[in-house]
A and B are shown apart, each in its own frame.
Chain A
Amino acid sequence: DVKVTQSSRYLVKRTGEKVFLECVQDMDHENMFWYRQDPGLGLRLIYFSYDVKMKEKGDIPEGYSVSREKKERFSLILESASTNQTSMYLCASRDLGLGHYNEQFFGPGTRLTVL
């Protein structure tokens, strides 16, 4: 059974803290993604990685960075957490496949609250 796991389901941090969100996939997928999801706004892409050590900015990268040192692991880093980063964070992976038709597999999400 394919799996994407995220390090925490719920996280509470204080403003200014550095926050690490970890994502691991066991499917040997090349592509990995980080999204945030807010009510009424849907999924918004923060960063994605098409291969190890490769990363590209998504639509809302400000205040975030990422790291992909190993194929199975993609980390999202909030350099200095702020209250407007309170959100649900979702990691996904995708097999490269042909023409990028392949679906994304999502993790269960991390609900982050920044106080």
Chain B
Amino acid sequence: SQKIEQNSEALNIQEGKTATLTCNYTNYSPAYLQWYRQDPGRGPVFLLLIRENEKEKRKERLKVTFDTTLKQSLFHITASQPADSATYLCAPHTGGFKTIFGAGTRLFVKA
């Protein structure tokens, strides 16, 4: 069955460093992959989308890579700030109506 793996352990980093979050998927070939941010007690908010023919996508301090051979996406936040502390969800998508979300990785950025 389709499976998405994100680090279940929280990631703790110091302010100013680069945070790197991993999303691995198995048993399917997504046409694109989305990343969302979720703050405690709130709904997820869309951040970035990367298509299968794109290796890398950037938006301000965010960078996403998509390696279809490794079946992996990396999500980077450069010059991280305490306000970046949240849970980040990845969602590899095959293009149908349904979206399958990973369980998310919690990021803590310490001042």
Contact = CB atoms under 8 A, between A and B. Distances in A.
B49 A90 contact: no
Contacts of B97: 31, 48, 50, 56, 100
Nearest to A90: B43
Contacts, number: 56
A104 B46 CA distance: 7
A12 interface: no
A17 to B, nearest CB: 24
Contacts of A108: 41-43
Given A4-B43, A108-B42, A109-B42, A43 B101 contact: yes
Interface of B: 4, 8, 31-32, 34, 36, 41-46, 49, 51, 89, 93, 95-104
10 contacts: A40-B8, A43-B44, A48-B97, A58-B98, A90-B43, A92-B43, A101-B32, A103-B34, A103-B49, A109-B43
